[in-house]
Amino acid sequence: MSELENKLALITGGATGIGKAIAEVFSQNGSRVIIIDISKEEGEMLAKDLGGSYYYADLTNQIETEKICDEVLDQHGNIDILVNNAGYQKINRIEDFQINAWNSMLQLMLTTPFQLTRRFLPGMKESMWGRIINMSSIHGLVASPYKSAYISAKHGLIGLTKTTAVEVGQFGITCNAICPAYVRTGLTERQISDQSKLLGIEESEFVEQVALDSAAIKVLIEPEEVANLAMFLSSEKSSKITGGSYTIDLGWTAR
């Protein structure tokens, strides 16, 4: 039997990048996947390829997030695995950062995971089994300039992870965070471009001097490597692991 046979996994931001890799690895291990993403074409295509389901939703909107929870629960019932992965970055100095952009990022990367956790926990409790994976970042552990909203959200997500873990452990539910460094995705490519412009350097210089400067291993992480860690944390092998924040960061935070 496959590791996740008969398990139903919901992955936000599952159409591209890390989320796509997680959906693929979970599907390969027997899970049925539900993808929620704002990228409609990519989401529909991936769900079709994996025999899963796709839902369009703008998760920066609190009301729309509640509606998509209703829809998933109505059509699928309880889910077994929740992966809060959706996110984006907006690069700005604190004094230039607009409040609407701040609110949007904190909604997507902190409030939305809280909403989804709150809505899907009752079903996990009923089943006495569940896995919640929150995609944080090395920037949930340390700070860098020009990322105030992103870093605040990712730090908060680790706090939510810990609190959830201690509240629901007795129900056979685990909750863990993954904290990657720079992963080779379209989001990272855009971030490299934006920060290079902000710092007035070439993109290759940014990768070498900023993104990988503190890394012991001088390569970008592949999405599949993060997906494999998510897979482990969702399996029976990790049933006693909860409340943790697990780095896959090339040694970035070891200094």
Domains of the chain from N-terminus onward: 8-183+221-248 (3.40.50.720)
User: What residues act catalytically?
Assistant: 150
User: What local confidence, expressed as pLDDT, does residue 213 receive?
Assistant: 84
User: What local confidence, expressed as pLDDT, does residue 185 receive?
Assistant: 87
User: What local confidence, expressed as pLDDT, does residue 1 receive?
Assistant: 63
User: What local confidence, expressed as pLDDT, does residue 47 receive?
Assistant: 98
Helices (H), the chain: 17-28, 40-50, 62-76, 99-106, 112-127, 148-168, 186-199, 203-206, 223-234
> Which residues of the chain register pLDDT less than 70?
1
Q: Which residues contact 108 (CB under 8 A, 6 or more apart)?
A: 59, 60, 86, 87, 88, 153
User: What local confidence, expressed as pLDDT, does residue 49 receive?
Assistant: 98
Q: CA angle at residue 129 from 110 to 238, to 5 degrees? A: 80
Query: What is the three-class DSSP state of 173?
Result: strand
251: left (phi over 0), alpha (psi -120 to 50) or beta: left
